[in-house]
Amino acid sequence: MLSGLFDATDGLMARIYGEESHFGAFFDSVLDRVSEIAIYWAAIYSNLVDWSIGFIALSGSLMVSYSRARAEQLGSEMKGVGIAERPERLLILAASALLNQLNAGALLIAELSIVTLLQRIVHAGSTLVDTRHIGQEREAAG
């Protein structure tokens, strides 16, 4: 829960104090993924979550984040796309921990992450329609 609080405020603080940077945004994203891995790993390792459910929830969460990063790199706006972005997943995780139902929360996150990933794939497919230049970009980078 604490990592979610920091995640919600760090970008805001950087904007307020004029300290935004590309590296800061990159580093924030890396730390977000590290914290997700640590949270799921701890829940699985301590047997609070069945390993298979935890693995699918973690994998789904990472793929949701990756799909956003990759699609945005290619020019598709992904903010707000999908039913379970990181804040929603953290909220589910926190609520299920408080209710002592972490396994059920991880299962819900696993399911919603898969749905979110599919929603992002469909969105990217509809917004990234021009693929003619990919071969030309690869040849130029060559």
**Annotated catalytic sites, by residue?**
32
Q: How many CA atoms lie within 13 A of 138 on its CB side?
A: 5
Query: Cα–Cα distance between 21 and 28 in angstroms, integer?
Result: 10
* Residue 69 to residue 78: CA distance in whole angstroms: 8
Report which of 48, 36, 25, 44 is spatially closest to residue 3, judged by C-alpha positions: 36
Return the SS3 of 65. helix
